[in-house]
Structure 1
Amino acid sequence: MNSFSSLQIDEVYINKLREKDIVVPSPIQAESIPVILSGKDVVAQSQTGSGKTLAYVLPLLQQVDKNSREVQGIVIVPTRELGFQILETLQLLADEAGIRVQGLIGGAALTRQIDKLKLRPQLIVGTPGRVMELLKLRKLSVHHVKTVVVDEVDQVFDLGSMREVEVIFKGTQRNRQMLFFSATMPEPIQAVISRWMQDPVYVQISPEQRTSETLKHLYFVCEDRDKIDTLRRIVRLYNMPAAIVFINEIDNVAEIVEKLKFAGLSIEALYGDAGKQERAKVMQAFRAGKFQLLLATDIAARGLDIPHVTHVINFELPIDADHYVHRVGRTGRMGKKGTAISILTNKQRFIIDKFSKKLGCKIEEQEMAYGKIYQSGSRGAARSTGPSKGKETHVSQANKKEFGSTTAEAVSTSSPNLAPARSAALGKPNPAKASSAAGKAPSRSASGKPVSSPANKPANTGPSRSEIRSETKLGTTSDIRKSGTPNAATGTKLEVKKGTKPVQQKTDRELKRERKNKGAPRWLKEKQNKPT
């Protein structure tokens, strides 16, 4: 098994790493350090969180001439946050060895940095703009630089710093050593490699595995207007101690922060347009665990190592697969477990499928229901065991055939006395009384015709058609009550709700007269209606 001693690293650095529980070198460190110490140019690519910083920091410190007072090595970084992180790692190891290190990060006070340069640092960590500015002022010289490291090389050139970086390259020694490190090496970087490197050695650790194997990839689908609420529910259900939430545009930062704070979440924002003091304060508080969520643009997607971050959430999907790799690489670092969650709309499914195919990782769809998280399509069990949102309905097959499923459900969940009345009002037999009615045959007269009498009439045959017509003027059939006293027409007497006027029933002779008189003149109607 490899060890830092077998890589010819000084004991002073090994002891310092042991204090941080770093004993065994990672694969990228074991492969890169011997090649860098041999003096060759190196292009190193491995997953985020695999230990690339120590892979070039240790040999960089090892090669410093402590007796020289000139700048011998420079590390170029794309962002302030990454610059401060690398500077902290360098100072931790360099202080024990007596090596002077200085940061030339943009946004800091220029005069203070100029004063510190008088201490003659031997190693420098800087952003391209600030280093270029000090070179123009002739306050910094890179003529004695033997090693140039470009960390996150693809982003350094993608941010429009190509000209400034090449000016820095030209100011160094002709036989300098060039080291390019990144988790992604897009095609345009090959042109830079060909122009500035001499027979570089490519060190690639599992290039087909673009993301960490300990990282779990998930996504949730919702409407665009529901993204804030979906994020709130995700944070609550996962109960995450710390997470980074990524967005694409800084125009939405203030609005999203206010909405999430209103939803009760502990969140602060980190974006490029914020001042240096504000950005440093936010990062310091987040590292200290003073708030739960860090809302950030892609400036936080490069190289930041915050150990207690367990989740990365893409509130807005990244522009391509490479940006996805760097974002999700803020968790699941150095063998630790992590979770990457993306929130997208139904129209964006093809994007997440594209990322999955290009990166060779499985991104699973999840759903939220009943206060739990389920894999997409597995909520059937949750529905059967979950809480019911209404009355449970029991509809017999007879009712389904008679009324249809929708009507039958409405009948069964309403008053239990309504179903017989509804059946009676429609002139149909009541299923509940069918057995009792079937057992009795109607009596017949001497001529063989059935006799219409209350004794021979079934108990629940319901009102006649004339009663149904008059009933519609009063309301539903539930207004009808049977009194048990037979009347001349049907053998039953109708009783209406209290406060309603009873309707006088008309005989067949009166109805026939009304039909004949429908088109007659008024004087004829009045004449016919006079009592005889």
Structure 2
Amino acid sequence: MSTSFEQLQIAQTYLDKLQELGIGEPTPIQAEGIPVLLQGKDAIIQSQTGTGKTLAYLLPALERIDPTQKQLQVMIIVPTRELGMQIMQEIEKLTSGGPIRSQSLIGGAAVARQIEKLRLHPHIVVGTPGRLLELMKVRKLTLHHVKMGIVDEVDQVFELGSMQDVEAVLKGMLRTSQMVFVSATIPQSTEQAAGRWLKDPVIIKINPSQRTAETLEHHYVVCQEREKIDTLRRLVRMIKPTSAIVFINVTDDIAQVVGKLQYVGLSVEALYGEASKQDRAKVMGNFREGKFQLLLATDVAARGLDIEGVTHVFHLDVATNAEYYLHRVGRTGRMGREGTSISIVTSRELFIIEKFEKQLGITIEPKAMYEGRLVDPAQDRSAATMRSRREAARPSAAPSRSGSTGAREAAAPASAVRVSAVAPDARGQQAAAPAKPAAQGKTAAAGKAVSKAQRERDRKSKGAPRWLKEKQQNKEE
């Protein structure tokens, strides 16, 4: 029996907003998480990416706000600016035209402007740990009235070297405040940290064994390291994705990779970590509007992003661990939509793919490009074999690439025999094929011997400098 938002006791104001947004029924994580949070209990919410976790905590958080009070009542901590802006957009959709005020407090924006907006007394803020702590130290932000604190992508927040900042921010809240930790992956270290801040938390996990969406397809393509850029180009030209994200591991390489991809004709822009808030917002806005095809990003930059229309994720660099792979592929196949993940790997990186399969309980299928399609490598090999057989059977008018005089002499009589065997005589009758000259067999045998000796010399001189090869050739002549 399906559950409706009405049954979850959501206020009519938000029911109307959900209807306007085209959101009909709650997802499993929303149906299970919303009642727990509405009761004011601490919780750990874990569910695969793209299942609606943001709405699962936003609706109860907004329900707890008293708009008649001027104090800050809900705080959401995020690891990145992009995720913060994305959550702010969801809040604005749900609260537009209403009395609830919201504000983002993320790094990269002007502090003075944020301080000025704090004078409007927002009811809910979304911020990064460093900026929140900075405003607390100058006493422009107080958390004494916060009823509910939420840490989204909690494992990433703790891993980004901001553990001390997060703890300092959480200490500014009352012990009676409700705390919620949210992520698609909750490692053991995060659970241990949660034990310090959460009081008897309710652990909500939906299909923990199903780590990725069932609508996702996982593939990998093998090539040499120097061919990765061209392999990506060929894949994009072949698949023609409307919108896709390309992941790399090293931030320092991102400008160089963008240049290479643009040089080969791909429509791509990058999400730079050191770029200003305005530049990053512009890139994300243009990507959402479809002004370019590929978004190049690192794991941190794209963490938690929900971009409608992303059909493919390409791993130009294989993910450093299974958790990063999980969050990467979660950028597509969201909310029941289909999606495809393609890892571009070398033969030495195949063990990483096998490790991901075991750790995540998924199958990552090998693929090859053949005649404009992604096919099984076995099918590609059989096709290549058939091509080589057809080429071998096709008569060649050109002389042998070896350049052997004996080979050319041996080929000439055979060609003459084939032609004369079907050539008509002067009276229109087919003439009999002339007998094979007795010396022809000897000539062919001599030609084979010369060709074999030439091949042996070529093999021995392989890798020799050009001047030495030319000297040897002149000596033979």
Please show how residues 385-400 of structure 1 align to structure 2 within 5 Å.
Answer: 390=391, 392-393=393-394
Please show how residues 77-476 of structure 1 align to structure 2 within 5 Å.
Answer: 77-380=78-381, 382-383=383-384, 390=391, 392-393=393-394, 414-415=411-412, 417=414, 460-462=437-439
1:226-254: CA deviations, max 9, x gaps? Answer: 00110001101111111000001122112
Residue 392 of structure 1 deviates from its aligned partner by: 2.5
On the 8 A contact 1:391/1:413 being kept in 2, the answer is: no
TM-score computed with the length of structure 1 as normaliser: 0.75
Over aligned residue pairs, what C-alpha RMSD do you find? 2.8
On the 8 A contact 2:79/2:157 being kept in 1, the answer is: yes
On the 8 A contact 1:393/1:413 being kept in 2, the answer is: no
On the 8 A contact 1:74/1:147 being kept in 2, the answer is: yes
Instruction: Tell me how far apart the structure 1 counterparts of residues 409 and 194 of structure 2 sit (CA, whole Å).
Output: 78
Residue 415 of structure 1 deviates from its aligned partner by: 4.2
* Partner AA of 1:143 in structure 2: H
Instruction: Tell me how far apart the structure 2 counterparts of residues 77 and 436 of structure 1 sit (CA, whole Å).
Output: 87
Residue 174 of structure 1 deviates from its aligned partner by: 1.5
Residue 39 of structure 1 deviates from its aligned partner by: 0.8
- Range with bigger deviation, 41-50 or 91-100: 91-100
* Partner AA of 1:78 in structure 2: P
Instruction: Tell me how far apart the structure 2 counterparts of residues 416 and 13 of structure 1 sit (CA, whole Å).
Output: 90
Residue 91 of structure 1 deviates from its aligned partner by: 1.4
SS of structure 1 residue aligned to 2:212? coil
Higher RCO (CA < 8 A, seq sep 6+): 2
1:414–1:177 distance in 2 versus 1, CA, 3 Å:
farther
SS of structure 1 residue aligned to 2:393? coil
Q: Which has the higher helix share?
A: 2
Report how many residues are paired.
Answer: 424
On the 8 A contact 2:270/2:295 being kept in 1, the answer is: yes
1:323–1:436 distance in 2 versus 1, CA, 3 Å:
closer
On the 8 A contact 1:12/1:97 being kept in 2, the answer is: no
Instruction: Tell me how far apart the structure 2 counterparts of residues 159 and 459 of structure 1 sit (CA, whole Å).
Output: 82
1:273-305: CA deviations, max 9, x gaps? Answer: 222222111111111100000111112332111
* Partner AA of 2:99 in structure 1: G
Instruction: Tell me how far apart the structure 2 counterparts of residues 258 and 205 of structure 1 sit (CA, whole Å).
Output: 41
1:391-412: CA deviations, max 9, x gaps? Answer: 63489xxxxxxxxxxx9xx889
* Partner AA of 2:367 in structure 1: Q
Instruction: Tell me how far apart the structure 1 counterparts of residues 147 and 436 of structure 2 sit (CA, whole Å).
Output: 110
1:14–1:413 distance in 2 versus 1, CA, 3 Å:
farther
Residue 376 of structure 1 deviates from its aligned partner by: 2.2
Instruction: Tell me how far apart the structure 2 counterparts of residues 377 and 96 of structure 1 sit (CA, whole Å).
Output: 59
1:135-161: CA deviations, max 9, x gaps? Answer: 011111110001000000000010011
On the 8 A contact 2:417/2:433 being kept in 1, the answer is: no
Instruction: Tell me how far apart the structure 2 counterparts of residues 392 and 414 of structure 1 sit (CA, whole Å).
Output: 15
Structure 2: state its 5+ residue gaps: 397-403, 419-431, 452-477
On the 8 A contact 1:76/1:125 being kept in 2, the answer is: yes
Residue 271 of structure 1 deviates from its aligned partner by: 2.4
Aligned to 2:47: 46
SS of structure 2 residue aligned to 1:180? strand
Instruction: Tell me how far apart the structure 1 counterparts of residues 170 and 414 of structure 2 sit (CA, whole Å).
Output: 93
Structure 1: state its 5+ residue gaps: 396-406, 422-434, 438-457, 477-532
On the 8 A contact 2:273/2:301 being kept in 1, the answer is: no
The structure with the largest alpha-carbon Rg is 1
SS of structure 2 residue aligned to 1:318? coil
- Range with bigger deviation, 51-60 or 258-267: 258-267
Instruction: Tell me how far apart the structure 1 counterparts of residues 16 and 250 of structure 2 sit (CA, whole Å).
Output: 44
Instruction: Tell me how far apart the structure 2 counterparts of residues 342 and 464 of structure 1 sit (CA, whole Å).
Output: 56
On the 8 A contact 1:49/1:329 being kept in 2, the answer is: yes
SS of structure 2 residue aligned to 1:28? helix
Residue 388 of structure 1 deviates from its aligned partner by: 8.1
Instruction: Tell me how far apart the structure 2 counterparts of residues 205 and 393 of structure 1 sit (CA, whole Å).
Output: 60
On the 8 A contact 1:268/1:295 being kept in 2, the answer is: yes
1:206-229: CA deviations, max 9, x gaps? Answer: 000111110100000000000011
Instruction: Tell me how far apart the structure 2 counterparts of residues 413 and 333 of structure 1 sit (CA, whole Å).
Output: 66
Aligned to 1:22: 23
Residue 386 of structure 1 deviates from its aligned partner by: 6.0
Instruction: Tell me how far apart the structure 1 counterparts of residues 410 and 382 of structure 2 sit (CA, whole Å).
Output: 25
Residue 309 of structure 1 deviates from its aligned partner by: 0.7
Aligned to 1:450: none
Residue 377 of structure 1 deviates from its aligned partner by: 1.2
* Partner AA of 1:188 in structure 2: S
1:460–1:250 distance in 2 versus 1, CA, 3 Å:
same
Instruction: Tell me how far apart the structure 1 counterparts of residues 386 and 337 of structure 2 sit (CA, whole Å).
Output: 35
1:106-144: CA deviations, max 9, x gaps? Answer: 111111111110111111100001110100111111100
TM-score computed with the length of structure 2 as normaliser: 0.84
Aligned to 1:69: 70
* Partner AA of 1:201 in structure 2: V
